[in-house]
Protein backbone atom coordinates (compact mmCIF):
# COMPACT_ATOMS: atom_id res chain seq x y z
CA UNK A 1 0.00 0.00 0.00
CA UNK A 2 1.00 3.58 -0.61
CA UNK A 3 0.00 7.03 0.64
CA UNK A 4 -1.29 9.79 -1.64
CA UNK A 5 -3.18 13.08 -1.65
CA UNK A 6 -6.33 13.29 -3.75
CA UNK A 7 -5.68 16.12 -6.22
CA UNK A 8 -8.76 15.91 -8.39
CA UNK A 9 -11.29 13.81 -10.26
CA UNK A 10 -11.18 12.13 -13.65
CA UNK A 11 -14.32 11.92 -15.78
CA UNK A 12 -14.54 9.35 -18.56
CA UNK A 13 -17.92 9.05 -20.24
CA UNK A 14 -16.75 6.14 -22.41
CA UNK A 15 -15.05 3.39 -20.47
CA UNK A 16 -15.17 -0.32 -19.76
CA UNK A 17 -18.66 -1.38 -18.60
CA UNK A 18 -17.04 -2.86 -15.47
CA UNK A 19 -16.02 0.69 -14.45
CA UNK A 20 -19.49 2.12 -14.89
CA UNK A 21 -20.61 4.05 -11.82
CA UNK A 22 -17.14 4.13 -10.28
CA UNK A 23 -15.58 7.39 -9.10
CA UNK A 24 -12.09 7.92 -10.56
CA UNK A 25 -9.70 10.18 -8.67
CA UNK A 26 -6.31 11.70 -9.47
CA UNK A 27 -3.71 10.91 -6.80
CA UNK A 28 -0.27 12.35 -6.08
CA UNK A 29 1.83 9.87 -4.06
CA UNK A 30 3.30 11.23 -0.81
CA UNK A 31 6.78 10.07 0.18
CA UNK A 32 8.54 10.53 3.50
CA UNK A 33 11.35 13.02 2.77
CA UNK A 34 14.77 11.33 3.10
CA UNK A 35 16.42 14.60 4.23
CA UNK A 36 13.72 15.42 6.80
CA UNK A 37 11.63 12.38 7.79
CA UNK A 38 9.25 14.66 9.72
CA UNK A 39 7.82 15.84 6.39
CA UNK A 40 6.29 14.43 3.24
CA UNK A 41 7.45 15.30 -0.24
CA UNK A 42 5.10 14.89 -3.21
CA UNK A 43 5.91 12.27 -5.82
CA UNK A 44 6.58 13.40 -9.38
CA UNK A 45 3.87 11.28 -10.99
CA UNK A 46 0.10 11.16 -10.68
CA UNK A 47 -2.09 8.08 -10.65
CA UNK A 48 -5.73 7.51 -11.55
CA UNK A 49 -7.38 5.27 -8.96
CA UNK A 50 -10.86 3.90 -8.35
CA UNK A 51 -12.40 5.20 -5.11
CA UNK A 52 -13.76 2.35 -2.99
CA UNK A 53 -14.18 4.31 0.26
CA UNK A 54 -15.91 7.60 -0.61
CA UNK A 55 -13.04 10.04 -0.24
CA UNK A 56 -12.70 13.53 -1.64
CA UNK A 57 -10.26 16.09 -2.95
CA UNK A 58 -7.51 17.13 -0.53
CA UNK A 59 -7.69 14.00 1.62
CA UNK A 60 -4.75 11.74 2.38
CA UNK A 61 -5.54 8.18 1.32
CA UNK A 62 -4.04 4.70 1.18
CA UNK A 63 -4.07 2.99 -2.18
CA UNK A 64 -2.80 -0.25 -3.66
CA UNK A 65 -1.79 -1.14 -7.18
CA UNK A 66 -1.52 -4.14 -9.43
CA UNK A 67 -3.15 -7.47 -8.66
CA UNK A 68 -3.89 -6.30 -5.10
CA UNK A 69 -6.18 -3.60 -6.49
CA UNK A 70 -8.49 -6.20 -8.00
CA UNK A 71 -9.00 -7.79 -4.58
CA UNK A 72 -11.04 -4.77 -3.43
CA UNK A 73 -14.77 -5.50 -3.13
CA UNK A 74 -16.56 -5.89 -6.48
CA UNK A 75 -13.48 -5.04 -8.58
CA UNK A 76 -12.46 -8.59 -9.49
CA UNK A 77 -13.63 -8.26 -13.09
CA UNK A 78 -12.76 -4.57 -13.54
CA UNK A 79 -9.66 -3.44 -15.46
CA UNK A 80 -8.19 -1.70 -12.40
CA UNK A 81 -4.54 -1.04 -11.60
CA UNK A 82 -5.02 1.29 -8.59
CA UNK A 83 -7.73 1.48 -5.95
CA UNK A 84 -8.17 3.68 -2.88
CA UNK A 85 -8.66 1.41 0.15
CA UNK A 86 -8.59 3.83 3.09
CA UNK A 87 -8.77 7.43 4.27
CA UNK A 88 -5.83 8.32 6.51
CA UNK A 89 -6.44 9.90 9.92
CA UNK A 90 -2.80 10.31 10.97
CA UNK A 91 0.76 9.26 10.13
CA UNK A 92 3.56 8.82 12.69
CA UNK A 93 7.22 8.51 11.70
CA UNK A 94 9.90 7.83 14.33
CA UNK A 95 7.40 8.64 17.07
CA UNK A 96 6.48 12.03 15.59
CA UNK A 97 3.13 12.75 14.01
CA UNK A 98 3.78 14.14 10.53
CA UNK A 99 0.17 14.17 9.33
CA UNK A 100 -3.20 14.45 11.00
CA UNK A 101 -6.65 15.32 9.69
CA UNK A 102 -6.93 17.57 12.76
CA UNK A 103 -4.00 19.71 11.51
CA UNK A 104 -5.86 20.82 8.42
SS3 36: coil
State the Cα–Cα distance between residues 31 and 90, nearest whole angstrom.
14
- Chain segment 13-66, per-residue pLDDT in tens: 999 998 999 999 999 999 999 999 989 999 999 999 999 999 999 999 999 998
Query: What is this structure's pTM?
Result: 0.91
Domains and CATH numbers, the chain: 2-100 (2.40.50.220)
SS3 71: helix
- Write phi, then psi, for 68 (nearest 5 degrees): -65, -30
Amino acid sequence: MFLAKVEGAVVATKKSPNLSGRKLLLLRPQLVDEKDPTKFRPGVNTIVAVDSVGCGEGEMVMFCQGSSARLAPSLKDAPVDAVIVGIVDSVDVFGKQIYSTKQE
